[in-house]
Amino acid sequence: MTVMKAMTLSRPGRPLELVERAIPEPAAGELRLRVLACGVCRTDLHVVDGELPHPALPIVPGHEIVGVVEAMGGDVKGFALGRRVGVPWLGKTCGCCGYCKSGRENLCDDPLFTGYTRDGGYATHVVADASFCFPLEEDADPAAQAPLLCAGLIGWRSLKMAGRGQKLGIYGFGAAAHIVAQVANYQARGVFAFVRPGDAAARDFALSLGAVWAGGSDEAPPEQLDAAIIFAQVGALVPLALAAVKKGGAVVCGGIHMSDIPSFPYALLWGERTLFSVANLTREDAREFLALAPKAGVETHVVRYPLVEANKALSDLRDGALQGAAVLVP
């Protein structure tokens, strides 16, 4: 094959278009992968819908990539042709800003993001910086591995920021939540799942994954929580989560985009409650989580779509018509 196929965004708010391109050659320090699967993340939806500014148009979305190394540029070490690897959201960092030098590369001043400022995995092939690729198990289902590379990684970072409390609330029970819930269960925590009011399917899904309670996001939990993670992009949930968390607890906003947070009384924050946002990930997060996921017995629930149905996958995600994660399989 001399050409590759890709679903490309030419302008925010418009459907992706199937295009053919010459297969790229990797530069020094890069890998070219043949894509086996690419997860469809809500961040992709924010890019496509124009909620994240200044994408590198035209752009190929997708940052939960599972692929096979097909070619290597110069100076690449630690990889081999035919090896399966994963590519996450964080595509490259400068390595020299204060954040990078202090172990906070997720806050890098001059980063590249896969599927946003460099082409991603809604394609048959992709080029990625080898330093930001991670070896994956060779015998696992690649479609099942794909959601681990963002839903799993951001969920893991969110869980760490939430602290070690035993009673954990999760608002928005989608791709990230269904993975985090399994990790929390492995850690012997109690998961309290908050879903869209009236969404019985999501409530039952959460309970099937071991949640000790599941109800609408407009409900109060049966007991106070030690911490809460908000994956839903609804700013109005922040005061509700703060009200549900006990003194000294944490509320973590796990998304890259959220609607405006309404004003709320200081009493909801008082009592040394803390409110965090999660920004991107570090490579250490990835190494930790990819080692932990098999031990925790994480099983992703995926709905597969062919590459050409990327717009349908995004639409289903936008409409809340999925339990688990959508994955494109070229």
Q: Quick: pLDDT tens for 170-210.
A: 999 999 999 999 999 999 999 999 999 999 999 999 999 99
Residues 16 and 124 in one domain: yes
Domain-located, residue 51: yes
CA dist 268 to 153, 215, 262, Å?
29, 21, 13
Q: Are residues 52 and 176 in the same domain?
A: no
Nearest to 230 by CA among 241, 214, 220, 239: 241
Q: What is the pLDDT of residue 49?
A: 96
Tens of pLDDT, residue by residue over 213-238, are 999 999 999 999 999 999 999 999 99
Domain co-membership, 161 together with 61: no
Mean pLDDT across the chain, nearest whole number?
97
Cβ atoms of residues 16 and 311 within 8 Å: yes
Q: Which domain holds residue 62?
A: 3-149+300-329
pLDDT value of residue 2 = 85
Q: What percent of the chain has pLDDT over 90?
A: 98
Decide if 32 contacts 23 (C-beta within 8 A). Answer: yes
Strand partners, 125: 34
Residue 290 lies in a domain: no
Could you give the percent of the chain with pLDDT greater than 70? 100
Same domain, 312 and 254: no
The DSSP call for residue 247 is E
285 lies in a domain? Answer: no
Could you tell me if 177 and 84 lie in one domain?
no
Q: Indicate if 201 and 86 belong to the same structural domain.
A: no
Residue 291 in domain? no
d(CA 120, CA 312) in angstroms, rounded, equals 18
Contacts of 53 (CB under 8 A, 6+ apart): none
Looking at the domain assignment, is residue 283 inside a domain?
no
Q: Is residue 309 within 8 Å of 329, Cβ to Cβ?
A: no
Residue 262 inside a domain? The answer is yes
Give yes or no: residues 81 and 120 share one domain.
yes
pLDDT band with cut points at 50, 70 and 90 for residue 1: low
CA–CA dist 311, 315 (Å, integer): 6
Q: So what's the pLDDT on residue 76? A: 95
First-to-final CA distance of the chain? 14
Q: 268-314, pLDDT tens digit by residue?
A: 999 999 999 999 999 999 999 999 999 999 999 999 999 999 999 99
Residue 287 lies in a domain: no
* Same domain (yes/no): 132, 27: yes
The answer to whether residues 139 and 161 belong to one domain is no
Whether residue 295 lies inside any domain: the answer is no
Determine the 3-state secondary structure of 108 from DSSP: coil
- Three-class DSSP category at 184: helix
Provide the 3-class DSSP secondary structure of residue 303.
Answer: strand
Residues 233 and 304 in one domain: no
Residues 54, 142: one domain?
yes
Give the tens place of pLDDT for each residue, 22-71. 999 999 999 999 999 999 999 999 999 999 999 999 999 999 999 999 99
**Count of structural domains within the chain:** 2
| Average pLDDT of span 320-330 | 93
CATH of the domain at 272: 3.40.50.720
Query: What are the distances in angstroms from CA 329 to CA 60, 106, 117, 148, 310?
Result: 15, 28, 22, 15, 10
Three-state secondary structure call for residue 21: strand
Q: Are residues 162 and 119 in the same domain?
A: no
